Structure 1
């Protein structure tokens, strides 16, 4: 990484905003920011926030969601975790905790407010942003985001055509909770995923 980006990552790793200055209830655990920025990767994975397994491992997508995402991208683990190939910057860097039903809470607002614009400014080489879920789509797509996640992802061709420097491609979260959504929307696997894999391979072939 560049010296400036390396310095910013050190600041992020020491962040305690959600414990010391929270916009609401404090984190239910000690902060453990999980983020993999890059000054060389052309592809940015903009996810939501770490889950319990990622919080324990300290590495992004070390869970079943990661297995599915790597399958969607058509890449093995060693490529996925190569910072020359992928930057992985979720909307929230720390596990936000769980709700009463055992589901993960939304990414903490403090995180993007404090860090995201600064990180993106130091990664000007990114030319493809994969927005995973509504929170990443809201930040990276703005008014181009539709009223629902389904409508946003279904409109992926228009989103792609309208975006450049970087291109944006909206995706659902690869969680097992979205298996039903994938079955109800067969166009996702039949049309969007082949396009996604081709764009990924085109960029990786130039690394």
Structure 2
């Protein structure tokens, strides 16, 4: 009974989200990136076997989500070249892949809900005890302004959602600088330029 109630609430949330507006696109990486200190991607771990499928949704195999999200995690986080490995673990909790509908009247949006956990490889521990929930909608474009169900395949919808979801994961991780300290910060060292400036004062005070 409890599982059934959770399932019903998840379906209700997906149905409500499917009628909302779209997200900004995560397709372009751009020249700038977030600051993640000593982060280097270890493994991208994606599971989707227990995902709730929203109402009026196309269906996707768990392996399709695993392929799309893993590739996007590696594309976005492969830009970071820190000296410490972290693993990004993602569980697909629910999704809607919009089906063709009547424009304006019934034009649902695609939705993806994830639970995200970051692992410290060296310490073999989770940095967030409970999975952090990420919810994204499809990006607004000429193909999705009415409904992506009319203009895109399920694979295109999944790619769109995967790009937006991983961009959202990156934005969340950037808010956790304590997880990814630079090597000198982690070891309690002082930056070389600070040492060179402080040296004359130290010498004077000791004379």
TM-score, length-normalised on structure 2? Answer: 0.26
Higher relative strand content: 2
TM-score, length-normalised on structure 1? Answer: 0.26
Higher relative helix content: 1
